[in-house]
């Protein structure tokens, strides 16, 4: 019997190990940026091409490495921060020159240039597929430059699973933002396809958030600060009125390392209880400092999921700290029995001086002069003005006069147009029987029974087809703004806006001057309120970023779906009888009235047979 178990060749083992660390270009960016920070760099530059699939280059001014360390850093299990197993539970760094470099070199073409402050010449090493191709001296500034080219060049199957350059760029941008937020004291620069995306100077946390997500964030932040024996909490939460429908701007950092924690997220949501609109999520940038031995960061290969020693206490502290900050800055309602709001000075008048009232006297006024004649003239005037009103209707038929003098002007015919509807699922010709159920559904009668319509999904379908029709016919219904709106965006949102700007024009948006990460909105779709323009645009951009991989849909189709979700009447909205009738008519005038843009059913039928069974 032949032996079946054998040791894998070293290069195959390295490629398998690389799959645990390097999943896409963003994984390379994360490892190289964290290595640069651990090297003590004050300035870090990131250069990528084609979303990182072609090139990922990180240049820093850190301490550099000696020739021996540079070569050894590409060996498996080589590191500078662990000497024994117990060190795994008291980590203070992210990984200095090692660990990930061996995995990256196994599936890419890597070139490293590094020089310490004491050395006169730098070391240049080229490695491709875990094979050292050259090791020589070179002239380079102090620090380290690592270029990773053609990721997965020797594993075509893995390379085929990579997404498009736009999708991979989005993942790279997420990793860059996380590292930049964790280290606001380090200057970062990011360039994609020779276009500068970010230039972040060394600053404090609040300024770093503004540089990454736009200056408008500065007015939305509420500081959070709490220090206990278990943990120190610092950072910001966004005000409830700026909560979004996406979870984009939510960041937890523990000991300057980005993490994901559904448990801690629930603590934030509990602190915002009663302050958020339905289906919205607050933004937060929270930093926790805990003892190194009270946290385990090695339960996941990417180290984004951690385990705390006392999660329940940390949950209570975090929830209390956020709730206290919201109350302290008058964001959430509070009870103060010693405070009388009637005695408070309005803010607009707080520093104004009291104006003395002026007194004016009409010295010629005599209340006894011409009293009777004046009153008589007044009565005569009233009678004269009221008399002769029938003259207005002279020459009109008696039926017209009778109709014009009726007081009940609100009664209109509710008869529908039967030609709008086809088939048994269309409402009956007498449209008087439309009722709203629970401010969410519309109930009407059909030939075979009853029809129950979801008003939110129905309005989505109507808006979706209307927006697509306007785009196809190139006749968007636009309402021009008297005063253009100037909206600022983060660099990531700005790139998305430029990509979908023409599709938005086809939906009815008008754009004026496009500045540095800001846009001037000169027109809006007819159904959109000016006060909702910024939040709806944010929602469209966030929806685009979430579903960026869905390339089988056109830009117009995806934007029409996002806009229809934002503009559709919300569940819980009371509709008048005329609005109910108009919505039903518009729905059954659509090409596909039975499905919402998201593919969910719009209505269900309740046949008479089924109703009779339930009542039998």
Q: Which CATH class is domain 10-200?
A: alpha beta
Class of the domain covering 220-328? alpha beta
Asked whether the predicted pLDDT for residue 405 surpasses 80, the reply is no
Task: Please give the residue that has the higher pLDDT: either 614 or 545.
Answer: 614
Report pLDDT for 150.
92
Predicted pLDDT at 546: 72
The stretch 291-313 carries a mean pLDDT of 75
Residue 382 has a pLDDT of 45
Contacts of 500 (CB under 8 A, 6+ apart): 540, 541, 544, 555, 559
Q: What gap in Å lies between CA 255 and CA 23, rounded to an integer? A: 25
Say how far apart CA 593 and CA 462 lie, in whole Å.
8
User: Has residue 103 got a pLDDT over 60?
Assistant: yes
- CATH 3.30.1370.100-classified regions of the chain: 421-616
CATH 3.30.565.10 occupies which residues in the chain?
10-200
Enumerate residues 6+ apart whose C-beta is below 8 A from 538. 244, 493
In eight-state DSSP terms, residue 521 is E
What is the arithmetic mean of pLDDT over 224-229?
Answer: 92
Q: How many CB atoms lie within 10 A of CB 170?
A: 21
**Does residue 170 surpass a pLDDT of 90?**
no
531-540 pLDDT per residue, tens: 888 888 888 8
pLDDT computed for residue 156 by the predictor: 86
**Does residue 388 register a pLDDT over 70?**
no
What is the pLDDT, as a whole number, of residue 78? 66
C-alpha–C-alpha distance, residues 471 and 555, integer Å: 11
What mean pLDDT value characterizes the chain? 80
Instruction: Give 447's DSSP letter.
Output: T
Q: Cα separation of 232 and 229, whole Å?
A: 8
Per-residue pLDDT at 368: 75
Question: 187-202: per-residue pLDDT in tens?
Answer: 999 999 988 888 999 9
Cβ(203)–Cβ(211) under 8 Å? yes
Tens-place pLDDT, residues 587-596: 999 999 999 9
pLDDT band at 84 (very low <50, low <70, confident <90, very high): low
Q: Which of 263-277, 355-369, 489-503 has the highest mean pLDDT?
A: 263-277
The token pair that represents 192 in the structure block: 């994609």
Q: Which helix (H) or strand (E) holds 314?
A: helix 311-328
pLDDT for residue 284: 95
Quick one: pLDDT at residue 615?
Answer: 82
The pLDDT of residue 515: 76
Q: Which residues pair with 524 in a beta bridge?
A: 479
Element (H, E) at 603: strand 603-607
Higher-confidence residue of 4 and 36: namely 36
Share of the chain above pLDDT 70, in %: 77
| Nearest-angstrom CA–CA distance, 247 and 255 | 22
The pLDDT of residue 76 is 75
Strand ranges (DSSP E) for 76-212?
109-115, 122-128, 131-138, 143-149, 187-192, 195-200
| Tens digits of residue pLDDT in 541-554 | 887 877 665 555 67
Per-residue pLDDT tens over the stretch 269-293: 999 988 888 778 899 999 999 888 7
Q: Which long-range contacts (CB under 8 A, 24 or more apart) does 275-281 make?
A: 275/240, 275/326, 275/331, 275/332, 276/240, 276/243, 277/243, 279/245, 280/243, 280/244, 280/245, 281/243, 281/244, 281/245, 281/246, 281/247, 281/250
Q: Do 34 and 12 meet the contact criterion of CB atoms below 8 Å apart? A: no
Q: Answer yes or no: is pLDDT of 179 > 90.
A: yes
- Beta strands of 228-280 (E only): which ranges? 232-238, 250-254, 257-259
- The residue with greater pLDDT, 369 or 394, is 369
Burial zone of 512 (CB within 10 Å; 0-12 exposed, 13-18 middle, 19+ buried): middle
CATH of domain 421-616: 3.30.1370.100
**Distance between CA atoms of residues 341 and 563, nearest Å:** 42
Q: In this structure, are strands 55-60 and 43-49 parallel, antiparallel, or unpaired?
A: antiparallel
Q: For 135-139, 316-320, 355-359, 427-431, which range has the lowest pLDDT when averaged over its residues?
A: 427-431
Residues with Cβ < 8 Å from 607, sequence gap 6 or more? 448, 449
* Cα–Cα–Cα angle for 495, 177, 72, rounded to 5 degrees: 120
């Amino acid at each position: 019997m032949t032996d079946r178990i054998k040791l894998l060749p070293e290069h195959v083992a390295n490629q398998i190990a690389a799959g645990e660390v390097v999943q896409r270009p963003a994984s390379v960016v994360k490892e190289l940026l964290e290595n640069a920070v651990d090297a003590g760099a004050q300035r870090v530059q990131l250069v990528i091409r084609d979303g990182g699939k072609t090139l990922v280059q990180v240049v820093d001014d850190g301490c550099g490495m000696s020739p021996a360390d540079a070569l050894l850093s590409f060996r498996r299990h080589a590191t500078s921060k662990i000497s024994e197993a117990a060190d795994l539970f008291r980590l203070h760094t992210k990984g200095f020159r090692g660990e990930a470099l061996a995995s990256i070199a196994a599936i890419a073409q890597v070139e490293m240039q590094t020089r310490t402050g004491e050395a006169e010449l730098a070391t240049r090493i080229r490695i491709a597929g875990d094979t050292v191709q050259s090791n020589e001296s070179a002239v380079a500034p102090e620090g380290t430059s690592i270029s990773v080219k053609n990721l997965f060049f020797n594993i075509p199957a893995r390379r085929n699973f990579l997404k498009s350059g736009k999708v991979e760029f989005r993942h790279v941008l997420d990793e860059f933002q996380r590292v930049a937020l964790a280290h606001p004291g380090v200057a970062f620069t990011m360039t994609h396809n020779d276009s500068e995306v970010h230039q972040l100077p060394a600053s404090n946390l609040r300024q770093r958030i503004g540089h990454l997500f736009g200056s408008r964030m500065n007015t939305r932040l509420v500081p959070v600060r709490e220090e206990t024996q278990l943990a120190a909490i610092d950072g910001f939460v966004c005000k409830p009125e700026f909560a979004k429908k996406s979870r984009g701007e939510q960041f937890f950092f523990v000991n300057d390392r980005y993490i994901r924690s559904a448990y801690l997220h629930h603590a934030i949501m509990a602190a915002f209880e009663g302050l958020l609109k339905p289906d919205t999520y607050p933004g937060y940038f929270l930093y926790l400092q805990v003892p190194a031995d009270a946290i385990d960061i090695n339960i996941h290969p990417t180290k984004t999921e951690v385990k705390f020693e006392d999660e329940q206490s940390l949950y209570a502290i975090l929830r209390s700290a956020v709730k206290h900050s919201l109350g302290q800055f008058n964001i959430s309602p509070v009870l103060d029995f010693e405070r009388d709001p009637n005695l408070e000075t309005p803010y607009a008048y707080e520093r104004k001086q009291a104006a003395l009232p002026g007194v004016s006297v009409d010295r010629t006024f005599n209340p006894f002069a011409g009293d009777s004649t004046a009153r008589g003239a007044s009565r005569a005037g009233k009678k004269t003005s009221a008399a002769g009103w029938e003259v207005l209707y002279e020459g009109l038929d008696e039926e017209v006069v009778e109709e014009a003098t009726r007081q009940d002007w609100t009664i209109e015919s509710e008869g529908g147009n039967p030609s709008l509807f086809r088939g048994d699922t269309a409402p009956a010709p007498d449209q008087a029987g439309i009722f709203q159920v629970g401010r969410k559904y519309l109930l009407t009668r059909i030939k075979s029974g009853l029809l129950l319509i979801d008003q939110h999904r129905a309005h989505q379908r109507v808006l979706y087809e209307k927006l697509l029709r306007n785009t196809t016919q190139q006749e968007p219904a636009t309402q021009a703004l008297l005063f253009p709106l100037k909206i600022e965006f983060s660099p990531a949102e700005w790139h998305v806006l430029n990509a979908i700007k023409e599709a938005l024009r086809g939906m009815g948006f008008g754009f004026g001057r496009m500045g540095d990460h800001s846009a001037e909105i000169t027109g809006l779709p007819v159904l959109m309120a000016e006060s909702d323009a910024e939040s709806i645009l944010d929602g469209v951009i966030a929806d685009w970023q979430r579903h960026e991989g869905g390339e089988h849909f056109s830009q117009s189709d995806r934007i029409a779906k996002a806009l229809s979700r934002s503009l559709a009447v919300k569940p819980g909205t009371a509709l008048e009888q005329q609005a109910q009738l108009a919505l039903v008519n518009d729905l059954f005038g659509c090409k596909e009235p039975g499905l919402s843009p998201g593919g969910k059913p719009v209505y269900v039928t309740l046949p008479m047979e089924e109703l009779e069974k339930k009542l039998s």
